[in-house]
Amino acid sequence: MTVREVARILDAEVLSGESKLDIEVKHAGAADMMSDILALCGPNQLVLTGYIHPQVVRTALVTELLGLVFVRCKNIPPETIRLAKASDFLLLRTKGYMYSSCGKLHGAGLKGIDER
C-alpha cells in the first residue's frame, strides 16, 4: 500500500514529505516513546504516534523510517513541521486515535512491524 493510500484510509492531512506519497509502505507500528520509535524504525515503515515535539522528527531522521503519522489531530508545534519540511520527511496527521487508526491500516492489509 502506498503512503497516498494510507492517507486516504486514515483521512490524514499531509504536513510534509509530499514527494513520498507514492512510496510503498511495507509495515507500520505505533509508539509514543523515543526508544520504541528507534526500535521500530526500518525502511519503508511508518510509525503512528501521539508524540508531537520536534525531538520525534530528529529521532526519526537518524533512522530509515519513512515517516510519522500523528494521531488525535493534535496541535503540532510549528518547529516540528519546519524540521520535517527542511528534510522532506513525511508527516501525516489524522483525527483518529491510535488504536482505531492502527486497526484501519491492519484491516486494509498493512502488516505490523512485528509481522515482518
pLDDT digits (tens, 9 = 90+) for 21-74: 999 999 999 998 888 878 777 889 999 999 999 999 999 998 889 999 999 988
pTM (predicted TM-score): 0.94
What's the confidence (pLDDT) of residue 108?
98
Cβ neighbours of residue 61 under 8 Å, at least 6 residues apart? Answer: 87, 89
Domains of the chain: 3-107 (3.40.1390.20)
> Which three cell numbers, joined as nine digits, stand for 12?
490524514
Which amino acid does the sequence have at 51? Y
**What value does the mean pLDDT take over residues 5-23?**
98
CB 94 within 8 A of CB 73: yes
Largest alpha-carbon pair distance within the chain?
Answer: 34
